[in-house]
Structure formats: C-alpha cells, structure tokens
Amino acid sequence: MRVLLRFFSGTGNTRLCASFLAKAFQNAGHEVDLVEQNVPVDVSTYDLIGFGYPIHAFNAPKTFVNQIKALPKAAKDYFFFKVSGEPFPINNSSSVTLARILKQKGYRKVGEKHFLMPYNIVFRYKDPVMKQMYLYLPALCQAFVEDLLSGKAETIRYGPSRIMTFLFKIEWIAPFCNAPLVSFRPKKCTRCMKCLKNCPQQAIYLNKKDKLKIHPTKCAMCMRCTLNCPVDAIRFGIMNPWKVNGDYGYAKLEKDAFVNPDYINANTKGYFKLFNKYFDRQRALLKAHKIPDPIESHLAK
C-alpha cells in the first residue's frame, strides 16, 4: 500500500506524530510519504491518506482547511491524526469541516485519532509532562496504525463539541487582527532570521525599512516563530501573554534520568488530574495491542 501523510505543523508536534505513524506503516511493509502543507503532492497515486494538524481553538487551522478544499475529487480512504495540548472532548469536532469537505469530494473516513502533546500556547508544560506525552506517542501511533490496517480504527464522535467548534471559528480571523500588532524587539533581536526562514507560511518578511514584519493574510498563528526565537525577541501582539518560548527539547528530556515521566497518574493533583481519563484510555488501548507501557519500559531501562 502507498500511504500519504499530509500535514500542517506549527511547532513540530504534528510532524513528530506523522513521523511515528510513518515508521509504524513502514514496519508493516508499506510505502509512506510525509508531505508538509504547501508542498505540492499528487494524491491520486496513494491508497490511503492521513491528514494531520494541530487543533487551533477547537478547529483545524484555516490554512489547512484551504489545502483540503483544493484537493481534487477522489474515491480515497483517509484518516485524521490531530494533535492538541489538552485531551478534553471539547476538542472532538475540530475536524468537522474537513470531514464534510472530504465527504463531498468522495473521500471515505476510516479512522480518526487525537494525540495529546504539549501546548505551544497559554503556558509551557512541565518537563515531566512533556516527557510523558513524548514517550507515549510512538506506542500510540503503532496501535493506531495496527487498527487502521485491520480496518478497526477508532473514530471520534463529534457530539456537542460542534457548538464550540462553530463558535471558535472566529479564531480564523485572529491571525489577521494580530499580525499588525506583532513586533520584533530591536534591542533583543540578533537578526538571525530563523523566524523568517522557518515560517511554514512564508508570512514573515523584511519591509522597505529592513524591519521584520508579519503578513496578516499569510500568518496561521502557529507559534513556530515565537517558540523557536533563540532570544525571545518576538512580542506576539494580543497573543503575547500566551506565548511559549523555547523548544520542547524531547531528545534531552528522554535522556534525562532526573525527569520522571510518570507524572500523570492516579495520584496526580490539580489541572493534570483531568488528563488521567485520556491516559487510562491509552493504557487500555496499548494493553489490547500487547504493546508494552512506554513509561514502564522507560523506567525499567
């Protein structure tokens, strides 16, 4: 089978998820192409397509919706993999618009999975939480791919979360309003141009006065520039209080024996206690697939 993983990723979590899904398909003997948003691709040559995106305000990012709209009509099987910072059902129907468009074009949904990964907005997750989410990801991708290949993959019931998805479509105009308010603080900025070079939307440019600016209709508010700025020089307009700066550092966290990834468990208190339901479901899924618990395996090393 030829599998296409077509995705948008701001700060790398969806890309990471796509790469673990790709590995799982490849291990089962399938051919996989990972193609990021905005890179042209001919979908007609694939047997199965995975569409992946980070959830933005209970929706898919507008830029990703536009890419789906541009797809040709085709009788293809597809699945969604979506990544977000909190596991609550309020995020369930983020793909409702995409699913409607794809159905109209003749595509058939065969699965849908929500993967929990750290926030790139609001606040930075603690290191043990990030490590826990990161360690779970490959195992969950493996289980999802096994289910897709056996035709038994989970789908998500959208339910009442449709209301939130509908109301928060207002977020689609937020980048347009926010971009003119973004400033690249000259006293801090070293003009390394990392933000300009890496923007997935090519939304950052130098104006006639040689100042960095963000194009309002191109920006997807994906937070790649703010997360990765080495000197935290970007004031991100009205979103600035919610800015998270600094790479997740998964590779370092994985090696760091002092960061205990068994953070969210039955004894967890506070906000992350609410994440237990998600992890309980994922543990049950892994058990059903006879995939070792990634936290137990990690701690046993």
Residues that bind ligand FMN (CB under 6 A): 9-14, 54-58, 83-86, 91, 117-121, 221-223
The minimum distance between CB 225 and ligand FMN, in angstroms, equals 11
Minimal distance, residue 120 CB to ligand FMN, in Å: 4
Closest separation in Å from C-beta 117 to ligand FMN: 4
| Residue closer to ligand FMN (CB basis): 9 or 201 | 9
Find the shortest distance in angstroms from Cβ 219 to ligand FMN: 10
Output the smallest distance, CB 298 to ligand FMN, in A: 21
Query: Which C-beta is closer to ligand FMN: that of 98 or that of 121?
Result: 121
Which CB sits closer to ligand FMN, 11 or 142? 11
Q: Which is nearer to ligand FMN, 57 or 135 (CB)?
A: 57
Q: Give how far the C-alpha of residue 230 lies from the chain's centroid of Cα atoms, to the nearest Å.
A: 22
Identify which of residues 12 and 237 has a Cβ nearer to ligand FMN in the complex. Answer: 12
Minimum separation from the CB atom of position 143 to ligand FMN (A): 19
User: In the complex with ligand FMN, which residue's Cβ is closer, 107 or 115?
Assistant: 115
Q: Which amino acid is at 3?
A: V
- Closer of 50 and 146 to ligand FMN (Cβ): 50
- Helices 13-27 and 127-149 pack at an angle, to 10 degrees, of 40
Cα separation values, 100 from 43, 81, 93, Å:
18, 16, 11
8, HSE (Cβ side, Cα atoms, 13 Å): 25
Q: Tell me the closest approach of the beta carbon of residue 61 to ligand FMN, in angstroms.
A: 8
